[in-house]
Amino acid sequence: MTTHQFLPHSDGACSRRAFLTVSAALGGAALASHAAAPSQPNPPPDPIIDIHQHTHYHGRSDQQMLAHQRAMGVTTSILLPAGRPTVRPATHGGRSNGLAANCTGNEAVLAYAKAHPGEFLFGANEVTDLPEAAVEIEKYLKLGAKIIAEQKFGVQCDSPESERLYTLAAEYDVPILLHLQESTYNSGFKRLPTMFRKFPKTIFIMHAQSTWANIDANYDGKSLYPTGPVAKGGLTSQYLADHANCFADMSAGSGLNSLLRDEEHTRWFLEKHQDKILYGSDCADTLGRGPGCQGAGTIAAIRKYAANKVVERKILFENSKKLFRL
């Protein structure tokens, strides 16, 4: 297949605008350091855990995905499966099957992880409101799934069916990752704290547009990829600060956009929430480096804006190592 850079799906692949912003903010430095690499001594690279990647993402082959992860410098990846293909409101009549990006499901990620021990781990998933969702997810938790994800379905974040999965996550002591995109997936962002409180033993990982737009206390609630200066103290920052069981995954175009829109805020945000932010890529390209790879852009941004090496290592590695007990 042809190499694609950013594809027009909701999140997980950068917009063209975000791509240009990445290039402007990081491209020069990233390219310069990359070009200089061969002449430098060769210390073992720092390990990186990517908690958010997919199989058959927009049709990308397994081989291309492996090469992509290695090119990014990722040493451990967690593969997040789709739910089964089904036609119902939660999948928007089938349009959101395959996580709206052609991704494959539980069997595929299990097989891939088994074929690449140590380098790849897998999650368990199902369409939230299917009657058999909990049974299907439990089957893969028993086989060693590390997370319930990616929950990206058209339900309310506090629906009874969602609550059933929050309970299951706590029972198996694995996090649950929510694609939060108001009016489309896991709606009700403002009500999430009710869930944090009701399920104190469940680890919630927030992801996607509503998460990253809400870093801004002045967010208008409309744009999925807001730009410009950020006022400290948005809902996302409050949730991370106030709830021990709330984490955020830095992945996708929305995560990167949030890092690049206001440098001063980003430095503050990464330092303040240094124990609660996890690196994820969620990118569908075949490159794994340079301005065409959003995941590589996110690594570069974290390295650029983290206050020091300790903060950088927490976000790229230590926090996930601890949370997933790796």
* Binding-site ranges for Zn ion (CB under 5 A): 12, 150, 282-283, 285, 293, 295
Torsion angle of the four alpha carbons 305, 311, 315, 318, in this order, in degrees rounded to the nearest 10: 160
Q: How far is the CB of 268 from Zn ion (least distance, A)?
A: 27
Residue 77 CB, nearest distance to Zn ion (Å)? 12
Residue closer to Zn ion by CB (options 189, 265) is 189
Question: CA–CA separation, 129 vs 159, rounded Å?
Answer: 9
Name which of 12 and 81 has its Cβ closer to Zn ion: 12
* Of residues 123 and 234, the one with the C-beta less far from Zn ion: 123
| Least distance from Zn ion to the Cβ atom of residue 248, Å | 14
- Both tokens of 303, joined, read 């390295």
Sort 111 into a burial class: Cβ within 10 Å, 0-12 / 13-18 / 19+.
Answer: middle
Distance of closest approach, residue 231 Cβ to Zn ion, in angstroms: 28
Please, which residue, 2 or 39, has the CB nearer to Zn ion? Answer: 2
Which residue, 203 or 299, is less far from Zn ion as judged by CB? 299
When the beta carbons of 60 and 265 are compared against Zn ion, the nearer one is: 60
Minimum distance of Zn ion from residue 289's CB (angstroms): 8
| Alpha-carbon span 97 to 151, nearest angstrom | 12
**Residue-wise burial string across 163-185, b where 16 or more C-beta atoms lie within 10 A, e elsewhere:** eebbebbbebebbbbbbbbbebb
For the sheet with 204-207, list strands across it. Answer: 148-151, 176-179, 204-207, 246-249, 277-278
What is the rounded CA–CA span in Å between residue 227 and residue 178? Answer: 23
Rounded CA-CA distance 120/65 in Å is: 11
Helix axes 263-272, 235-242, angle to 10 degrees: 20
Nearer CB in complex with Zn ion: 102/274: 102
How near is the Cβ of 115 to Zn ion at its closest, in Å? 21
Q: How far is the CB of 163 from Zn ion (least distance, A)?
A: 22
Q: Compute the distance between CA of residue 213 and CA of residue 181 in angstroms, rounded to an integer.
A: 10
Please name the helix (run of DSSP H) or strand (run of DSSP E) that holds residue 294, with its range, or none. helix 294-305
Residue keyed to tokens 């945000």: 269
